[in-house]
């Protein structure tokens, strides 16, 4: 018997019905992210025809691609931002959004992430950080907390997690924020801001994976993970006055960076106009 699909919810109009139900596990934070994204699009009144969503490989790559009803490009592992770069150059007037996971964007795709931030290309990245490689079976990720248990760190993780938001902020992005799936309304506001800001923007969403991460780390229900997020989150304003020891294992939330700087596709088109103008004036014949 076919599964019942609940389509009465207003945001369902943004979803590709024929692709439902989603492949996400029960209790996954991915649904919250998709919902927050749909709400942000709705509140900003962005026409989905003006949207291209790009993603890579893994659970979080599925959040909007294929489910969001827009042009969607589901790419190879780690390369979503590089694909999106070509899309944005070709369609500078459209909103280009990358939604993918921490392993995809910050692990294998880390190089593209920092260089897109440096370039400050107008792409909005929603990076879903669930501390784990979920779809491949719960292996250690570049974001797995020190000491955590995963299928490839069965004794404990002896590596230190990458601070994604901090890294991207220092790489030169225009806008960087971090929230958890517990902070839904703040998350929607940040996604809205990221979509509006001209330049590279990153919203890191710390999200629960009860099935692959929580279960092995004494938080087997989604609610337990959300409680952990709520208890462990420190607003960035407060974190500024805390020592590194006090911040160990905490999740710093809030806006890290919000600044204006020249954007890549705009600069590229400006440069093209200048060069083309020079040549249409017969600049080459003059020298």
Residues in touch with another protein (CB under 8 A):
16, 18-19, 48-49, 52, 54, 65-66, 69-76, 79, 82-91, 94, 111-112, 115, 268, 271-272, 275-276, 279, 284
Q: Of the two residues 43 and 76, which places its CB atom closer to another protein in the complex?
A: 76
Pairing outcome for strands 95-101 and 123-129: parallel
- Which long-range contacts (C-beta less than 8 Å, at least 24 apart) are formed by 46-51? 46/95, 46/195, 48/14, 50/93, 50/94, 50/95, 51/94, 51/95, 51/96, 51/97
Residue 279 CB, nearest distance to another protein (Å)? Answer: 5
Rounded Cα gap, residues 64 and 9, in angstroms:
17
Q: Of the two residues 115 and 250, which places its CB atom closer to another protein in the complex?
A: 115
Q: Of the two residues 83 and 229, which places its CB atom closer to another protein in the complex?
A: 83
Residue 263 CB, nearest distance to another protein (Å)? Answer: 14
* Contact (CB, 8 A) for 257 and 173: yes
Residue 52 CB, nearest distance to another protein (Å)? Answer: 5
Residue 138 CB, nearest distance to another protein (Å)? Answer: 21
Residue 82's φ and ψ, nearest 5 degrees, are: -70, -40
Q: Of the two residues 245 and 287, which places its CB atom closer to another protein in the complex?
A: 287
Residue 167 CB, nearest distance to another protein (Å)? Answer: 15
Instruction: Give the three-state DSSP class for 134.
Output: coil
* Contact (CB, 8 A) for 117 and 141: no
Q: Of the two residues 93 and 245, which places its CB atom closer to another protein in the complex?
A: 93
Residue 204 CB, nearest distance to another protein (Å)? Answer: 21
* Contact (CB, 8 A) for 179 and 226: no
* Contact (CB, 8 A) for 182 and 230: yes
Q: Of the two residues 88 and 183, which places its CB atom closer to another protein in the complex?
A: 88
The H or E element containing residue 268 is: helix 264-280
Q: How many Å is the maximal CA-CA distance in the chain? A: 76
Cα separations in angstroms, 124 against 7, 113, 177: 27, 11, 11
């Amino acid at each position: 018997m076919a599964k019942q699909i609940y389509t009465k919810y207003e945001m369902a109009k943004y979803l590709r019905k024929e692709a439902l139900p989603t492949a996400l596990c029960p209790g996954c934070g991915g649904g919250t992210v998709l919902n927050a994204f749909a709400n942000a699009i709705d509140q900003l009144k962005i026409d989905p025809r003006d949207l291209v969503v790009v993603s890579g490989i893994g659970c979080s790559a599925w959040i909007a691609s294929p489910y969001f009803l827009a042009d969607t490009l589901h790419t190879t592992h780690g390369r979503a931002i590089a694909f999106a770069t070509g899309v944005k150059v070709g369609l500078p007037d459209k909103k280009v959004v990358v939604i993918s996971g921490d392993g995809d964007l910050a692990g294998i795709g880390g190089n593209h992430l920092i260089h897109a931030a440096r370039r400050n290309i107008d792409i909005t990245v929603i990076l879903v950080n669930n501390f784990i490689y979920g779809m491949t079976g719960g292996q250690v990720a570049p974001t797995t907390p020190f000491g955590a248990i995963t299928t490839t760190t069965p004794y404990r993780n002896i590596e230190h997690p990458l601070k994604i938001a901090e890294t991207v902020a220092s790489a030169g992005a225009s806008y960087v924020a971090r929230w958890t799936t517990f902070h839904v309304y703040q998350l929607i506001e940040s996604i809205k801001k990221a979509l509006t800001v001209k330049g590279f923007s990153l919203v890191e969403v710390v999200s629960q994976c009860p099935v692959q991460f929580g279960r092995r780390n004494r938080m087997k229900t989604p609610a337990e993970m959300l409680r952990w997020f709520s208890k462990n989150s420190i607003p960035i304003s407060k974190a500024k006055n805390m020592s590194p020891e006090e911040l160990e294992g905490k999740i710093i939330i809030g806006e890290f960076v919000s600044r204006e700087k020249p954007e890549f596709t705009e600069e590229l088109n400006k440069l093209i106009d200048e060069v083309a103008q020079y040549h249409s004036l017969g600049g080459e014949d003059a020298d």
